Structure 1
Amino acid sequence: MKPLNPIRWSSADLEAFGALVQTRHFTRAAERCHLSQSAFSQKIRRLEAAVGARLFERSTRQVSLTPEGELLAQEVLRLEQELQQALGRLQALAGLQAGRVAVAALPSMAAVWLPGLVAEWRQRHPQVQLTLHDTLAQGATTLLREGRVDFALTAGGDLREFDTELLCTEPYWLVCPAGHRLAERAAAGAGWDDLAGEELIHLARSSSVRQQIERLNPVPTWRTSVLEVEHLATLAALVRAGLGLSLVPALTLFHFRDASLVALPFNEPALARPLVLARRKGQALSVAAQALRGMLLERLAVGDPGAT
């Protein structure tokens, strides 16, 4: 069987066909399309030649559709309806009246920054579904790479495959038991030298916190504890029991709000955690994702991203 040649109709061709279907009169259809009657008739003949079938029966009194014309008219109507529905959906998405947005965030960022943001989002845009994944840095980048989230709020790691923007830089704090010798210096803070001879409890080696500490102080004067944990609640319990000290980012301090613990500012400017928004390289954010990002940046600009 000989392959069919592709048919290329312009929007003007479809307009001419639709005008004749509606008016069933060449003169009125030509006027609607701002064409002379002869030019309009030639256009209809070209359309029929392109499809290889007559679309209209002409007589001196009326114009009617052939069965092939009826089929085409039905398909054109269906396409017009689908186009209008698609445009309506796009309009709803653009107006934040529908749609969805998904974000991955480090647990500390999710716990401190996002509850108030999610509450405000639901109040402003109740018809746009917001999905939040709280996960460690590796999980966040995996979700982003797989396209399961629009952007990720993360820190550290190799992010060269993504487009990133720095949101802020987070200082570190030293956490110790309330009875420790350094606890009395809470106002003045501490530094690397104060850790000499101390036992330091670390987060897991895969954590961005652990990697940054070891990168900045490759030959430490402290003793690294054999205790290595993944969860901050466990870390707080170990420090509370007097088993060592720990360095933690500022956003995690809510885990250590306890009368038996003291948090000291760590006065080493080089030890600071960059918090970034990462997204897939070269891909634009949806309207909903742009709006969520904008709300986050507004909150950061006034210095209280976790406010409700």
Structure 2
Amino acid sequence: MNLSLKHLQAFTALCGTLNFTRAARLCHLSQPAFSALIQGLEEGVGVQLFERSTRSVQLTPAGKDFEPQAHRLLGEMDAALEKLRGVSTQQSKHVCIALLPSLAAHWLPTVLEAFAHQQPHIKVTVKDVLNAPCCEAVLNGQADLGLASALSSHPELQSHAVANEHFFIACHAKHRWATCAEAIEPSALINEPFIQMAPSTSVRQAVDQWAAQHLEAPLNQLMEVEQLATVMGMVRAGFGVSLIPALSLEYFQDPN
């Protein structure tokens, strides 16, 4: 016969209680279903395991011989399942995070280093992508979570604000603003050659939103680039100025 886990559980429950009603309750079965399970077990092995009367239930000699083996088989089954669950848990200890390149390059490494010491069994993979791909990665299940600009919110995603970011003017070291002690008025940017980022970037979206609120004329866009590193190179060469988020200041640690 095919000895099932239910057969073993029913047999050991009845061994422990010697009462069909209580054993059926332990196995979450009705008494008729439980009785049928025990009867099927006895018919399958071809041996009577219990002696039944109107007043009592007792193990037969064959039943007494089988009892320790049944407990051993159940123990081995539990151990095998526990090991399988452990393997599954280990395999599931993997997190993928999507985030902006500036965060991935300058903020995340220190955080990951600390996290690796606290949770050494969790593998973390990183997708350094722009705002829109960051949200798409979470939407399509390629990433478990994303860190992006609030301007990239999506109706199918749940988001929480974790930080507010300041923007800075980046200019050449010889530019008149480099040594300016007074506050620079927003309108002063209108006449400056401006190094702008691509519309798909979170920086561009934030700058456009700010300009719409504070400037009466459009920025004097000299060129449009994809990467903050390119913005840094153009500003360093003296082509123009730009507005950059605080988390990207590391790109601009240059004498010029």
Q: Identify the residue that residue 84 of structure 1 maps to in structure 2.
A: 82
Change (3 A) 1:145 1:14: farther
Structure holding more strand per residue: 1
Which residues of structure 2 form unaligned runs of 5+? 25-30, 52-59, 64-69
1:179 Cα deviation from its structure 2 partner: 1.5
Q: Aligned partner of 1:163: which letter? A: Q
Contact 2:153 2:159 in 1 (8 A): no
Determine the C-alpha separation between the residues in 2 that align with 1:40 and 1:208. Answer: 64
CA offsets 1:208-257 (integer angstroms, 9 cap, x no match): 211222233235353111x1111111111111222111111111111111
Which of 221, 226, 230 is the matching residue for 2:226? 230
Within a 5 Å distance, the mapping from 1:1-308 to structure 2 comes to 15-18=9-12, 29=15, 32=16, 34-36=17-19, 45-48=35-38, 54-56=43-45, 57-58=47-48, 62-63=61-62, 80-89=78-87, 99-155=93-149, 156-185=151-180, 187-218=181-212, 219-225=216-222, 227-260=223-256
Contact 1:137 1:157 in 2 (8 A): yes
Q: Secondary structure at the match of 2:154?
A: coil
- TM (normalized to structure 2)? 0.73
Determine the C-alpha separation between the residues in 1 that align with 2:210 and 2:21. Answer: 82
1:181 Cα deviation from its structure 2 partner: 1.9
The runs of at least 4 aligned residues of structure 1 exceeding 4 Å deviation read 37-44, 72-79
Q: Aligned partner of 2:19: which letter? A: S
Q: Secondary structure at the match of 1:103?
A: strand
CA offsets 1:25-84 (integer angstroms, 9 cap, x no match): xxxx1xx1x3436876976532156x69823421775336xxxxxxx9999777534432
Determine the C-alpha separation between the residues in 2 that align with 1:166 and 1:232. Answer: 23
Q: Secondary structure at the match of 2:148?
A: strand
Contact 1:195 1:221 in 2 (8 A): no
CA RMSD of aligned residues (A): 3.6
Change (3 A) 1:230 1:53: farther
Structure holding more helix per residue: 2
Identical columns (%): 28
Determine the C-alpha separation between the residues in 2 that align with 1:196 and 1:149. Answer: 40
Aligned length: 227
Q: Aligned partner of 1:241: which letter? A: A
1:207 Cα deviation from its structure 2 partner: 0.9
Q: Secondary structure at the match of 1:196?
A: helix
Which residues of structure 1 form unaligned runs of 5+? 1-8, 21-28, 65-71, 261-308
Structure whose alpha-carbon radius of gyration is higher? 2
Determine the C-alpha separation between the residues in 2 that align with 1:84 and 1:159. Answer: 40
Greater RCO (Cα-Cα under 8 Å, separation 6 or more): 1
Change (3 A) 1:133 1:53: same
Change (3 A) 1:189 1:251: farther
